[in-house]
Copies of this chain bind each other. A is one copy, B any other.
Amino acid sequence: MISRKCYEDFHAGFEFDFRIAGLTANEIMEFAASYDPQRFHLDENEASETHFGGLVASGFQTQLLCFGAFCREVLLDSWAIGAPGIDSLKWLRPWYPGEPLDGNVTLISRRLSSKRNDRGYLSFQLRGNVDGAPLVAMDWVVMILTRNGAAKQLE
């Protein structure tokens, strides 16, 4: 368990690249029905009458799929213990069915907690593009145990 990455194992400049295959119209509509049932996410005909000109993914679906890729490949192999929030999330253009998304997460900076000596904070920037055009940008902070913090939890 201690082999999972701790605060000390992450350094500014760390990068993680990922790719999400284009979504199908059904995947977009199913997510929308559960979580964001606005007409341009839920119904192809109604969407075609809006300024989007067709069905587009909920921005929350974009956010979750990008975070999920990072979570599975990076966070699950670490002593991350949650996040205090999202500092900024920008949806820069609509995401249409069939468009693959190229993503990158970069560790911008890190700092130890001033209050608790068992943890630190990692500041990440996530960027997603479609065909080179910026589609989503998210900046957020992840809390993570230090090596000592992780060792204490295993005692």
Chain A residues close to B by CB (< 8 Å): 34-40, 49-52, 59-60, 63-64, 67-68, 71-72, 75-76, 80-91, 94, 153
Contacts and interface: CB of A to CB of B under 8 A. Distances in A.
A67 B35 contact: yes
Q: Which of A49, A51, A87, A153 has the most CB of B within 10 A?
A: A51
Classify the secondary structure of A's interface with B.
mixed
Given A50-B81, A85-B89, 15 more contacts: A37-B72, A37-B76, A38-B76, A38-B80, A39-B76, A40-B81, A49-B153, A51-B153, A60-B60, A82-B91, A84-B91, A85-B90, A86-B86, A87-B88, A89-B89
A15 to B, nearest CB: 21
Given A86-B89, A88-B87, A71 B38 contact: yes
A57 B125 CA distance: 23
